[in-house]
Structure 1
Amino acid sequence: MYDIVIVGGGIVGLSTGMALLEMFPKYKVTVIEKEKEVAMHQSGHNSGVIHSGIYYKPGSLKARLAKKGNCEIISFCEKHDIPYERCGKLIIATKKQELPLLSALYKRGLENGIDLHRMGLNQFKEIEPFAEGLEAIHVPSTGIVNFKQVAKAFARIIKEHGGEIMLSTEVIAVNNMHDGVELKTSEGIIKAKLVINCGGLHCDQIAQKAKISTNVKIVPFRGEYYQLKVEKRYLCKHLIYPVPNPNFPFLGVHFTRMIDGRIMIGPNAVLGLKREGYKKTDIHLRDITETLMFPGFWRVAGANWQEGLKEVVRSLSKKVLVKELQRFIPDVKKEDIMPAKAGVRAQALNRNGKLIDDFHMIHNQRMVNVLNAPSPAATASIEIGRYIAIEVSKVFKPIDIL
């Protein structure tokens, strides 16, 4: 029997395993992952941004862990020779009605302890010569990295500390026992004194298998990306973001320079018809049914249908998307961009239709369930892993494990 089994080999599950083995080196820990590699889904299909923490509600877990996590990820990359860059980003207001929102965001960033600079057009054009707009916030601490490389480094450290990584191992059933938890998997029975559910897109289903009532449903949103053609990459040197709508959970279409030199455009956010559906044609009947049968989905859809419709239109019309991009870089033309791979975000909703914004986890005697770890989870992954390890130490007595 294992002391701790972590379900999910994404960046959060791996960081949790790493933190537990650093804190409790005598524990017998394994991470099980249904795919043949780690970081195959959200951790490997993101924009690679090391976030600053400017967006998040002061005092929230997101705000606290993102700011710390930004520094931790940078230090980790330097220690383990993982390429990264602190390139900074601009959040640009292109309309007068966005200026109060930009001011509010600037205030929030200062409250979160972020180094920020408010800039006029002439100032931010020194950073991004082809950008246009009224005013901007410059966030120097924002960076870029390949988070899949980071996740693989976490996995390597787990093994070096005596932990295990079990790939191609899918959880089929979860049975609570008097002395722990029994996981029926595609590779046989695994027993543990404690299970930590970091299942990402499937975390609610894993909790359901354990007969745990969470009041949470994961709804997948597909984020579609384009990229600038190689000869047009000079148009964007860093990261360019719009002023976010405070009533909508997504940041809007933006320009992101990747660590490999590509300039990504996106993502939009359209309802996914499959939890791991990276193509428009990917459909899974059970996933659709679960979403449509959940009362919270219809409540949030009713409250956000106008913004949601805009996202769908941008998904269907390249012309509309380019018009949106030209608000920030007028020289971008329709022929300058080409499709890139999409990602899928696990958005947690409760039955009342509230989008769960902050990191969220619940636990019972033998199972910790991480039910919401959206962006900036990759940025904050080291701190999230430590946070979970500390919570485990508070809730579960040493005698329960050893």
Structure 2
Amino acid sequence: MAGRVAVIGGGIVGLAVARRIGQVDPGATVTVFEKEHDVARHQTGRNSGVVHAGLYYQPGSLKATLCRRGVALLKEYCTTHRIRYDECGKIVVAVDSSELGRLADIADRARANGVPDTTMLDPGGLRRYEPHARGVAALYSPTTAIVDYPAVARALRDDILDAGGSVRTGAEVVSVEERGDGVRLGLRIRGTARVTPNGSHATALKAGGTVTEVTETAGPFDLLIACAGLQSDQVAAFTGEDPSPQIIPFRGDYWLLRPERRGLVRGLIYPVPDPRYPFLGIHLTKRVDGEILVGPNAVLATAREGYTALTVAASDLRATLTWPGFHKMARTHWKTGAHEILRTASRRAFVAQARRYVPQLQAADVVRGPAGVRAQAVARDGSLVDDFVLSIRGRIVHVRNAPSPGATASLAIAEHIVSKVVAEPAA
């Protein structure tokens, strides 16, 4: 029996974990703590909305296994909750013969991972699916889909509440202490905190036009599962976990096709990714609201929640610059970083990258779009951590790395974690 359970993080992974605990152990008391005043405010609400089919991932890895399981669970969940799920299909385009070997490797991985109905296309086949795309060959994945992830997160929150759990927003966890009677959390409450369903909690008060800040302690809890995303390493540090891997934030900027130019793209058009990086490169992505995204790039962010180039958080930047792994990574990949900075500064350079796949695309066809920040885990040796990373020690679980396809795999990640720490009650 799980007893009292705390989950840190109101993104899609944290919410999925909290929901799963309630499914496995209906007697558990589950509370989600989220520092923002709503769920899905960071990576969950700022990604492209793609449901990845599992094309790229090393067969047998957690990413591959949980992505494939996650696709099935997510599709079923969206059907049940009437959330739009559109299998618009995806094409990975090789623009010249130098990319054919890597494209073939992706096709092999897709087959090994059990991705259904993938097909290699010649230039004519490519044009049948994407009339404005060009390349020497392409891999077509008809089951790759798009979804509204914030809507999924809200539905998960409602499931938690319906099962008797609580979701506390506006409550930032600033300390974790494990004692004999359980795990206690130190909370910082800014503005007006909310707790649902009704329960006792501290609320900040306004005095003289200034929002005061209050603190409180929550617990004890029998189990803590931290799904803190961009702050995952900092939360892990509260419990004495190894500082490696550390989160290095990378901002991804998007442009949007003007409405009259959306006909250039029917579904999802992706490049053949560089195997040295976990990023997939600039691509063209249809969204469920009809918008077409162009992007993202990947530039070092000067704040973990820095969604503009002008957003700087001194503590976040200091943590990045003093991490030994960052310097080793920068020495290895500085040329790529310079190209990304150029594309950030120049709309023409940004669009030129996408025009390799859709030659009719012009700089005038796009307007500035949203931005997101990827929580990229970097090891002490400078390597970019690619697979999901979980840490389990006693009554505390940390999700240290859950990058793309983390949203796709969220329900399967929840199954995986909960199966390790919560025993199903006897019938």
TM-score in terms of structure 2 length:
0.91
- What is the distance in 2 between the residues matched to 1:35 and 1:393? 27
Which 5+ residue runs of structure 1 have no aligned equivalent?
Answer: none
Q: CA deviation at 1:390?
A: 0.4
Is 1:21 aligned with 2:48?
A: no
Q: CA deviation at 1:320?
A: 1.2
Is 1:148 aligned with 2:114?
A: no
Q: CA deviation at 1:356?
A: 1.2
The residue correspondences of 1:91-240 to structure 2 (distance < 5 A) are 91-115=92-116, 116-187=118-189, 188-191=216-219, 192-240=221-269
Q: CA deviation at 1:366?
A: 2.0
Q: CA deviation at 1:181?
A: 1.1
Paired amino acid for 1:124: L
Q: Residue 266 of structure 1 aligns with which residue?
A: 295
Paired amino acid for 1:170: E
CA contact (8 A) 1:2 1:30 kept: no
> Any idea what SS the aligned residue of 1:169 has?
strand
CA contact (8 A) 1:197 1:203 kept: yes
CA contact (8 A) 2:21 2:422 kept: no
CA contact (8 A) 1:224 1:268 kept: yes
CA contact (8 A) 1:248 1:307 kept: no
How many aligned residue pairs are there? 397
Q: Deviations over 1:170-219 (max 9, x none)?
A: 01211121121110102421111211110100011111122222422111
Q: CA deviation at 1:352?
A: 1.1
Paired amino acid for 2:104: S
CA contact (8 A) 2:3 2:27 kept: no
- What is the distance in 1 between the residues matched to 2:239 and 2:184? 10
Paired amino acid for 2:183: V
Q: Deviations over 1:302-349 (max 9, x none)?
A: 222222221111111111112211111111111100110100000111
Paired amino acid for 2:47: N
> Any idea what SS the aligned residue of 2:274 has?
coil
Which 5+ residue runs of structure 2 have no aligned equivalent?
Answer: 190-215
Paired amino acid for 2:290: G
The residue correspondences of 1:9-48 to structure 2 (distance < 5 A) are 9-48=10-49
- What is the distance in 2 between the residues matched to 1:84 and 1:74? 7
Q: CA deviation at 1:275?
A: 0.4
Is 1:68 aligned with 2:84?
A: no
Alignment match of 1:387 (pick from 410, 416, 420): 416
TM-score in terms of structure 1 length:
0.96
Q: Percent identity?
A: 40
Q: Residue 366 of structure 2 aligns with which residue?
A: 337
CA contact (8 A) 1:345 1:374 kept: yes
Paired amino acid for 2:72: C
Q: CA deviation at 1:393?
A: 2.7
CA contact (8 A) 2:307 2:371 kept: yes
> Any idea what SS the aligned residue of 2:399 has?
strand
> Any idea what SS the aligned residue of 2:304 has?
coil
Alignment root-mean-square deviation, CA: 1.5
> Any idea what SS the aligned residue of 1:125 has?
helix
- What is the distance in 2 between the residues matched to 1:68 and 1:17? 18
- What is the distance in 2 between the residues matched to 1:365 and 1:75? 33
- What is the distance in 1 between the residues matched to 2:161 and 2:422? 22
Q: Whose strand fraction is larger, Structure 1's or Structure 2's?
A: 2
- What is the distance in 2 between the residues matched to 1:44 and 1:226? 16
- What is the distance in 1 between the residues matched to 2:97 and 2:156? 45
> Any idea what SS the aligned residue of 1:81 has?
coil
CA contact (8 A) 1:273 1:283 kept: yes
Q: Deviations over 1:261-285 (max 9, x none)?
A: 0000011100010000001100011
CA contact (8 A) 1:300 1:353 kept: yes
